[in-house]
Homo-oligomer: A and B are copies of this chain.
Amino acid sequence: MNMIELILSRHSYRGKYLPVSVPRNDLREIVEAGLAAPSGCNKQTTSLIAVDDPSVLEQLYTAIGRPYEGTAPAMICVVTQKIMAYADRTFYIQDYAAAIENLLLAIVAKGYQSCWHEGDITGEDSEKGSQMAKILGLPADHMVVCYLPVGIAADEVNPRAKKPFAERAWLNGYQQEWK
């Protein structure tokens, strides 16, 4: 499968996972792909914590408010620091989002599945993210903004419906059709 086919074959997976552990080497390759994402002014605001210790995973899922059972045998926690790129400008959201996309692609490339979980541990639910940060021993200036399960899917992976190409992509100007 080439790169673009792989990009098109990635979908958010919300099913159960097989109880098969993820080798550390695979986790490391995935994490290296995440860190290879660009960052605004090369500030590298994103850090990553891979978790495969069952007791830590269980604590994290308790903080998240989901049963640990049936979840993936590994997780990547996406950590950010709101570092300024220049003046009052920071690109930390863009930085971690690009890193997450790399992680998701690398996860699928290695034969695993995942899903971008952000809204359920941030914003109104940021208390959950803070609990996770505490479990992981993070200093106060580091935030957990997302977690990605990593494991082999037990269920089918189904794409979500997307708007047609012509509603989101144009050539040389707004709503100008591709030829």
Contacts and interface: CB of A to CB of B under 8 A. Distances in A.
Interface of A: 2-4, 6-8, 10, 12, 24, 28-33, 35-38, 40-42, 44, 46-53, 56, 85-87, 89, 91, 93-95, 97-98, 100-102, 104-106, 109-110, 116, 118-119, 123-124, 136-139, 142, 160-163, 165, 168-175, 178-179
Contacts of A124: 87, 89
Interface centre among A31, A101, A165 (most CB of B within 10 A): A101
B89 A123 contact: yes
Nearest to A97: B97
A47 B101 contact: no
B172 A48 contact: no
Q: How many copies does the complex hold?
A: 2
Contact of A49 (B40, B98, B101, B172): B172
Interface of A is mostly: mixed
Nearest to A105: B3
B109 A4 contact: yes
Contacts of A33: 4, 7-8
A101 B3 contact: no
B105 A105 contact: yes
Contacts of A136: 173-174
A84 to B, nearest CB: 12
B24 A179 contact: yes
